[in-house]
Structure 1
Amino acid sequence: MTTHGPVLPLWLCAACDRPWPCPTRRGELLGEYATSPVVLRIYMGSHLTAAMQDLSWAPADTVYRRFLGWLA
Protein backbone atom coordinates (compact mmCIF):
# COMPACT_ATOMS: atom_id res chain seq x y z
CA MET A 1 0.00 0.00 0.00
CA THR A 2 1.38 3.39 -0.95
CA THR A 3 1.63 6.47 1.22
CA HIS A 4 1.62 8.60 -1.93
CA GLY A 5 -2.13 9.06 -2.16
CA PRO A 6 -3.92 12.29 -3.07
CA VAL A 7 -5.00 14.86 -0.50
CA LEU A 8 -8.22 16.40 -1.75
CA PRO A 9 -9.35 18.91 -2.88
CA LEU A 10 -5.87 20.23 -3.69
CA TRP A 11 -4.65 16.95 -5.21
CA LEU A 12 -1.32 17.06 -3.43
CA CYS A 13 0.61 13.94 -2.45
CA ALA A 14 0.11 12.93 1.18
CA ALA A 15 3.70 11.72 1.48
CA CYS A 16 5.78 14.32 -0.35
CA ASP A 17 3.40 17.29 -0.78
CA ARG A 18 4.01 17.43 -4.53
CA PRO A 19 1.23 17.61 -7.11
CA TRP A 20 -0.46 14.22 -7.32
CA PRO A 21 0.35 11.90 -8.97
CA CYS A 22 3.88 12.62 -7.82
CA PRO A 23 6.86 10.98 -9.54
CA THR A 24 6.95 8.23 -6.90
CA ARG A 25 3.26 7.39 -7.36
CA ARG A 26 3.61 7.47 -11.15
CA GLY A 27 6.34 4.87 -10.91
CA GLU A 28 4.24 2.76 -8.58
CA LEU A 29 1.23 2.99 -10.90
CA LEU A 30 3.30 1.99 -13.93
CA GLY A 31 4.47 -1.08 -12.02
CA GLU A 32 1.01 -1.96 -10.70
CA TYR A 33 -0.59 -1.66 -14.14
CA ALA A 34 2.34 -2.92 -16.22
CA THR A 35 0.20 -5.62 -17.81
CA SER A 36 -2.91 -3.42 -18.10
CA PRO A 37 -1.97 0.00 -19.51
CA VAL A 38 -5.51 0.63 -20.77
CA VAL A 39 -6.91 0.08 -17.27
CA LEU A 40 -4.33 2.56 -15.93
CA ARG A 41 -5.56 5.16 -18.43
CA ILE A 42 -9.16 4.56 -17.36
CA TYR A 43 -8.16 4.79 -13.69
CA MET A 44 -6.29 8.04 -14.22
CA GLY A 45 -9.10 9.37 -16.41
CA SER A 46 -11.52 8.92 -13.53
CA HIS A 47 -9.17 10.91 -11.29
CA LEU A 48 -8.89 13.55 -14.00
CA THR A 49 -12.67 13.96 -14.03
CA ALA A 50 -12.76 14.50 -10.26
CA ALA A 51 -9.71 16.76 -10.28
CA MET A 52 -11.18 18.99 -12.99
CA GLN A 53 -13.99 19.85 -10.59
CA ASP A 54 -11.67 20.46 -7.62
CA LEU A 55 -9.06 22.33 -9.65
CA SER A 56 -11.49 24.38 -11.74
CA TRP A 57 -9.19 27.39 -11.36
CA ALA A 58 -6.30 25.60 -13.12
CA PRO A 59 -5.92 25.56 -16.92
CA ALA A 60 -7.54 22.40 -18.31
CA ASP A 61 -4.50 21.46 -20.41
CA THR A 62 -2.28 21.62 -17.33
CA VAL A 63 -4.57 19.33 -15.36
CA TYR A 64 -4.84 16.95 -18.33
CA ARG A 65 -1.05 16.71 -18.67
CA ARG A 66 -0.73 16.11 -14.93
CA PHE A 67 -3.15 13.19 -14.89
CA LEU A 68 -2.83 11.65 -18.36
CA GLY A 69 0.02 13.36 -20.20
CA TRP A 70 2.72 11.34 -18.46
CA LEU A 71 1.20 8.13 -19.84
CA ALA A 72 2.07 9.04 -23.45
Structure 2
Amino acid sequence: MIARPRPHLPMRPAWLCRNCAAPWPCGPAQLALAAEFYGHSIALAFYLAASMQEAIDDAYGLGLCPDLPALHARFLGWLSLARRSHR
Protein backbone atom coordinates (compact mmCIF):
# COMPACT_ATOMS: atom_id res chain seq x y z
CA MET A 1 0.00 0.00 0.00
CA ILE A 2 1.31 3.42 -0.98
CA ALA A 3 0.99 6.15 1.60
CA ARG A 4 -0.83 9.21 0.31
CA PRO A 5 0.78 12.58 1.00
CA ARG A 6 -0.83 14.43 3.87
CA PRO A 7 -2.49 17.72 2.90
CA HIS A 8 -1.20 20.97 4.34
CA LEU A 9 -4.33 22.15 6.17
CA PRO A 10 -4.64 24.71 8.98
CA MET A 11 -4.77 23.67 12.62
CA ARG A 12 -6.97 26.07 14.53
CA PRO A 13 -6.85 28.19 16.59
CA ALA A 14 -3.07 28.46 16.12
CA TRP A 15 -3.28 28.55 12.31
CA LEU A 16 -0.25 26.33 11.90
CA CYS A 17 -0.01 23.68 9.21
CA ARG A 18 -1.13 20.24 10.41
CA ASN A 19 1.55 18.63 8.27
CA CYS A 20 4.70 20.75 8.62
CA ALA A 21 3.82 23.05 11.59
CA ALA A 22 4.72 26.19 9.59
CA PRO A 23 2.40 29.22 9.71
CA TRP A 24 -0.53 28.44 7.41
CA PRO A 25 -0.76 28.88 4.49
CA CYS A 26 2.70 27.33 4.25
CA GLY A 27 4.53 27.00 0.93
CA PRO A 28 3.03 23.61 0.04
CA ALA A 29 -0.45 24.86 0.99
CA GLN A 30 0.01 27.91 -1.24
CA LEU A 31 0.95 25.67 -4.16
CA ALA A 32 -2.03 23.40 -3.53
CA LEU A 33 -4.41 26.36 -3.24
CA ALA A 34 -3.05 27.96 -6.42
CA ALA A 35 -3.62 24.67 -8.25
CA GLU A 36 -7.08 24.10 -6.73
CA PHE A 37 -8.27 27.61 -7.56
CA TYR A 38 -6.47 27.84 -10.93
CA GLY A 39 -8.38 30.27 -13.13
CA HIS A 40 -10.43 31.49 -10.16
CA SER A 41 -8.09 33.96 -8.49
CA ILE A 42 -10.91 36.12 -7.10
CA ALA A 43 -12.45 33.10 -5.39
CA LEU A 44 -9.03 32.24 -3.94
CA ALA A 45 -8.65 35.81 -2.65
CA PHE A 46 -12.07 35.65 -1.00
CA TYR A 47 -11.26 32.27 0.57
CA LEU A 48 -7.95 33.52 1.95
CA ALA A 49 -9.47 36.79 3.19
CA ALA A 50 -12.16 34.82 5.04
CA SER A 51 -9.48 32.52 6.47
CA MET A 52 -7.47 35.56 7.58
CA GLN A 53 -10.53 36.97 9.34
CA GLU A 54 -11.05 33.64 11.12
CA ALA A 55 -7.38 33.68 12.19
CA ILE A 56 -7.84 37.21 13.56
CA ASP A 57 -10.98 36.17 15.43
CA ASP A 58 -9.19 33.10 16.83
CA ALA A 59 -6.26 35.25 18.02
CA TYR A 60 -8.61 37.63 19.82
CA GLY A 61 -10.43 34.62 21.25
CA LEU A 62 -7.13 33.42 22.73
CA GLY A 63 -6.55 36.85 24.28
CA LEU A 64 -3.81 37.77 21.79
CA CYS A 65 -3.34 40.98 19.85
CA PRO A 66 -2.77 39.85 16.24
CA ASP A 67 -0.20 41.56 14.02
CA LEU A 68 -2.59 42.61 11.25
CA PRO A 69 0.03 43.64 8.63
CA ALA A 70 1.85 40.33 9.16
CA LEU A 71 -1.38 38.35 8.81
CA HIS A 72 -2.25 40.26 5.64
CA ALA A 73 1.17 39.47 4.17
CA ARG A 74 0.89 35.82 5.21
CA PHE A 75 -2.62 35.17 3.91
CA LEU A 76 -2.86 37.54 0.94
CA GLY A 77 0.61 38.85 0.18
CA TRP A 78 1.60 35.89 -1.99
CA LEU A 79 -1.41 36.10 -4.31
CA SER A 80 0.20 38.47 -6.80
CA LEU A 81 3.04 35.97 -7.22
CA ALA A 82 0.58 33.16 -7.91
CA ARG A 83 -1.11 35.19 -10.67
CA ARG A 84 2.05 36.04 -12.62
CA SER A 85 2.30 34.47 -16.04
CA HIS A 86 5.22 32.17 -16.77
CA ARG A 87 7.21 33.29 -19.80
Give the structure-2-normalised TM-score.
0.76
Among 4, 8, 14, the residue aligned to 1:4: 8
Q: What is the CA deviation profile of residues 11-68 of structure 1, one whole-angstrom value per residue up to 9, with x for unaligned ones? A: 0000000000000000010111111000000110110110111234231100111111
- Decide which moves more: 48-57 or 30-39: 48-57
Which residue of 2 is the match for residue 35 of structure 1? 39
Query: Which of 1 and 2 has greater Rg?
Result: 2
Structure 1 segments (4+ residues) deviating >4 Å: none
1:1-72 maps to which residues of 2 (within 5 A)? 3-56=7-60, 57-72=65-80
- Sequence identity, in percent? 32
Give the structure-1-normalised TM-score.
0.91
Long gaps (5+) in structure 2: 81-87
Long gaps (5+) in structure 1: none
Give the distance between the partners of 1:53 and 1:47, measured in 2 at CA: 10
Q: CA RMSD in A?
A: 1.5
In the comparison of the two structures, how many residue pairs are matched? Answer: 72
